[in-house]
């Protein structure tokens, strides 16, 4: 948090930083639409990376410059990655009926991931990643079904046959299960894609996906390990506005792909 606070204090000089980025010929070969996106990214600080000391050496190719000890992400590369990722996601949605698992558990990512998952009717992990969600999916699936049954039983009044003490314990169990399984009720089979909004905080999710052969799309700051993602979008994942802008761009790609899905026979 101290690093984030220090980085955000650079906002006082955001015009100077934006000017520096422009002087680096970032926008000379971008379309008008991409220039507008670039301007939005600059305005909300998508280019802020982590401190130089925290930067993963494998992320250096995405760093444009260092200012006040913090890395500045090359937004041109972010835009290229974003477009390539959107095209990949569209292909996955059209081929696999759109079963994408969203992951985002940090304060910056969690509310955005929840909202996108709700709007797109997709499963999401926003509390904490439960080990084995992908690598031991059969067991996790059984626990999801147990949770769904318990929730249905309570809604149907079937808890009323128990004593007050028993009902209290059942409610507590259901509350705990809601935290673990509430966001992934719709995960009835392994997803075709895992989209992680904060890779450095969810390395286990990425590793599990890779282990079972599921592609990983991720927003990643300069401290992340890019080898954990198949499609990488370098960006400030500590800023809710940054995460929101990028996830909404990808969400739009999902919506467009769904509109062009072939009707089921």
Q: How far is CA 145 from CA 124, 152, 160, in A?
A: 16, 10, 21
Label residue 45 left, alpha or beta by phi (over 0 means left) and psi (-120 to 50 means alpha): left
Q: Are 116 and 199 in a shared domain?
A: yes
Q: What would the pLDDT profile of 148-205 be if each residue is shown by its tens digit? A: 888 888 888 878 888 888 888 888 888 888 888 889 998 989 999 999 999 999 999 9
Q: Are 63 and 169 in a shared domain?
A: no
Nearest to 106 by CA among 77, 135, 128, 82: 128
Q: What would the pLDDT profile of 213-237 be if each residue is shown by its tens digit? A: 999 999 999 999 999 999 999 999 9
Q: Are 108 and 85 in a shared domain?
A: yes
Share of the chain above pLDDT 90, in %: 66
Q: Are 118 and 209 in a shared domain?
A: yes
Domain count, the chain: 3
Q: Are 120 and 190 in a shared domain?
A: yes
Confidence of residue 6 (pLDDT cuts 50, 70, 90): very low
Q: Are 128 and 38 in a shared domain?
A: no
- Position 264 in a domain: no
Structural tokens at position 50: 């982590």
Structural tokens at position 181: 């399984």
The values of phi and psi at residue 47, to 5°, are: -80, -5
pLDDT of residue 202: 97
Mean pLDDT (whole number) for 130-150: 92
Q: What would the pLDDT profile of 70-108 be if each residue is shown by its tens digit? A: 999 999 999 999 999 999 999 999 886 668 999 999 999
3-state secondary structure 198-255: CHHHCHHHHHHHHHCCCCEEEEECCCCCHHHCCEEEECCCCCHHHHHHHHHHHHHHHH
pLDDT of residue 96: 63
Q: Are 191 and 222 in a shared domain?
A: yes
Residue 156 belongs to what domain range?
143-182
Residue 119 has pLDDT above 60, yes or no: yes
Q: Please provide the DSSP assignment of 106-152 as one string.
A: STTTHHHHHHHHHHHT--EE-S---TTTTTTHHHHHHHHHHHHHHHH
Residue 28 has pLDDT above 70, yes or no: no
pLDDT of residue 25: 41
Q: Are 63 and 84 in a shared domain?
A: no
Structural tokens at position 219: 């927003």
pLDDT of residue 92: 92
The values of phi and psi at residue 127, to 5°, are: -95, -70
253/18: higher pLDDT: 253
pLDDT of residue 18: 46
Q: Are 108 and 220 in a shared domain?
A: yes
- Let me know: does 181 contact 143? Beta carbons within 8 Å: yes
Where among 74, 108, 123 does a domain terminate?
74
In this structure, what CATH number is given to the domain that contains residue 83? 3.40.50.10490
pLDDT of residue 95: 82
Residue 22 has pLDDT above 80, yes or no: no
Which residues are bridge partners to 125 per DSSP? Answer: 103
- Let me know: does 245 contact 43? Beta carbons within 8 Å: no
Confidence of residue 264 (pLDDT cuts 50, 70, 90): low
Mean pLDDT (whole number) for 126-135: 94
């Amino acid at each position: 948090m101290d690093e984030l606070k220090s980085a955000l204090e650079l906002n006082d000089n955001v015009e100077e930083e934006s000017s520096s980025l422009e002087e680096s010929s970032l926008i000379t070969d971008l379309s008008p639409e991409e220039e507008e996106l670039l301007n939005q990214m600059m305005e909300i600080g998508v280019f802020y990376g982590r401190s130089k000391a925290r930067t993963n050496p494998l992320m250096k190719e995405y760093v444009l410059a260092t200012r006040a000890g913090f890395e500045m992400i090359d937004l041109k590369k972010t835009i290229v990655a974003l477009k390539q990722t959107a095209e990949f996601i569209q292909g996955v949605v059209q081929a696999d009926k759109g079963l994408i698992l969203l992951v985002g558990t940090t304060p910056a990512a969690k509310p955005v991931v929840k909202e996108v998952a709700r709007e797109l009717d997709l499963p999401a992990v926003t509390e904490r990643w439960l080990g084995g969600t992908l690598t031991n999916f059969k067991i996790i699936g059984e626990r999801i079904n147990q949770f769904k049954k318990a929730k249905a039983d309570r809604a149907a009044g079937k808890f009323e046959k128990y004593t007050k003490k028993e009902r209290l314990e059942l409610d507590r169990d259901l509350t705990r299960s809601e935290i673990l399984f509430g966001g992934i009720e719709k995960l009835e089979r392994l997803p075709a894609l895992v989209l992680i909004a904060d890779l450095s905080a969810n390395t286990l999710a990425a590793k599990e996906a890779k282990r079972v052969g599921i592609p990983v799309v991720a927003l990643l700051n300069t401290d992340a390990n890019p080898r954990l993602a198949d499609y990488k979008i370098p960006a400030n994942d500590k800023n809710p506005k940054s995460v929101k802008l990028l996830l909404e761009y990808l969400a739009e790609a999902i919506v467009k792909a769904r509109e062009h899905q072939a009707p089921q026979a």
